A and B are shown apart, each in its own frame.
Chain A
């Protein structure tokens, strides 16, 4: 499973959005279930799964699959 699939799976599990509806361009504005609380849980899971620290002030910026993937590549 590559990073993109992993990220999408995490988002799908936490938000309970059908995995088929999430793609690289999906963002917090596209899905009502991806709210601020779900986003915080997504960030926590990304940190755990990828063993990469995300600063609290950065979390709001990582509001789409694309941005999360770019952050992980850094």
Chain B
């Protein structure tokens, strides 16, 4: 079930809220209500995926029990647990990609397995790994199975994050104060949900029509239309993803649950380092805490060169995590390379230049990187880049081509694009509302 469907907005969410807040009268444990609602939410998409996520929960809970019941071989237990999570993800998500590459390299003809791709597997795998590492570090103690079920299944953050930590979620689920209807949280949650809905339906929806048309008629792209297409996708991608996360955040808040911030006006970033502190923040934190830090610490010397090598490797992983395709690996490599240049600049050059110049450079870097994200055919990628960077001033078609004319003639699209630029670059973001709630709570 997707957040922007009428099924969710008009039926599932109101019924879920009604059931949750009437738990007192129904005398049913609120956590059980949320688990059952989340199972229903997940199964709505495809009930055949349900055994995968439930098995993953049971397996990880078993490893939690093993890690807490014995002091012997804890590291080995942790490594097996983490490896098993990665293996489950790899089997379902990457098997056909591996077969495709084997077939290409060795000219073999191995059949694809066409395994199902269980919804949200990338997210719950990362959450499960983080959970096991935290248990190993003794940061998580005394986990009841229903609490673990709810931590993984809680429907607002199940499909597309944010990636949450056990210690930040479970105390909220257990807090009886959160089991009563809170008018203020409900109104703010509904507002954030509505903001997300506008981002997703109006902005991402309108821009995606142009982006899809451009990619379907890729041969018609010229200099100006290829740049325009890339800008439209950058804004579409941001509105799509952050809109979805806003809907998740808003939904959770209606149940008095505060999810961590995942976006902080990323298109205002003035460096690539800054961008990753603003874009998909919970993924950046995961990569930092559970891959970058342990890998760098495992090396003999924690120095600049090793740190840059690890950074590049981490972003290759981040790239492939987004999807089983070479364009995602290239996306990760491009950002890894960009971050290395950014760190070298910061360490050795660091000129005192205008922040607007840095913003301009960063925005264009991000914009170009998103082309990797959108275009999964390598030939198309090369074609778009050729069009973007090969200028022929004598040819009028480079400036006013068919696609560009279509854009100009569609007033709705032009208005949407103009508002997108203003909103993303000059407006404050919805997370400010969340911050206000947190400040008031403290």
Q: Contact between B297 and A56 (Cβ–Cβ < 8 Å)?
A: yes
Q: Contact between B130 and A57 (Cβ–Cβ < 8 Å)?
A: yes
Q: Chain A: how many interface residues by the 8 Å CB criterion? A: 13
CB distance from A23 to the nearest CB of B (A): 22
Q: Could you tell me the dominant secondary structure of chain B's interface residues?
A: helix
Q: Contact between A60 and B293 (Cβ–Cβ < 8 Å)?
A: yes
Residue of A nearest to B165 (CB): A57
A41 within 8 A of B: yes
Q: How far is the CA of A44 from the CA of B307 in the complex (A)?
A: 15
Which one of A40, A55, A60 lies within 8 Å of B137 (CB-CB)?
Answer: A55
- Per-residue A-contact encoding for B275-302, CB less than 8 Å = 1, 0 else: 0000000000100111011101100001
Q: Contact between B134 and A57 (Cβ–Cβ < 8 Å)?
A: yes
B139 within 8 A of A: yes
CB-defined contacts of A55 to chain B, threshold 8 Å: 133, 137-139
Q: Contact between A32 and B289 (Cβ–Cβ < 8 Å)?
A: no
Q: How far is the CA of A37 from the CA of B303 in the complex (A)?
A: 7
Q: Chain B: how many interface residues by the 8 Å CB criterion? A: 22
* Inter-chain CB contacts under 8 Å: number: 47
Residue of B nearest to A40 (CB): B302
Which one of A32, A36, A44 lies within 8 Å of B292 (CB-CB)?
Answer: A36
**Given A35-B346, A40-B302, A56 and B307 contact (CB-CB distance below 8 Å):** no
Q: Which of A40-74 contact B (CB under 8 A)?
A: 40-41, 44, 55-60
Residue of A nearest to B298 (CB): A56
CB distance from A33 to the nearest CB of B (A): 9
Q: Which of B333-354 contact A (CB under 8 A)?
A: 343, 346, 350
B427 within 8 A of A: no
Residue of B nearest to A55 (CB): B137
**Given A32-B346, A35-B346, A36-B288, A56 and B293 contact (CB-CB distance below 8 Å):** yes
9 extra A-B contacts, CB within 8 A, seeds A36-B307, A37-B307, A56-B294: A37-B296, A37-B304, A40-B293, A40-B297, A44-B302, A56-B133, A57-B134, A58-B139, A60-B288
List 22 A–B pairs whose Cβ atoms lie within 8 Å, in order of A's numbering: A35-B343, A36-B288, A36-B307, A37-B296, A37-B307, A40-B296, A40-B297, A40-B302, A41-B302, A55-B133, A56-B133, A56-B289, A56-B293, A56-B294, A57-B133, A57-B134, A57-B137, A57-B139, A57-B290, A58-B137, A58-B139, A60-B289
Q: Which residues of B contact A (CB under 8 A)?
A: 130, 133-134, 137-139, 285, 288-290, 292-294, 296-297, 302-304, 307, 343, 346, 350
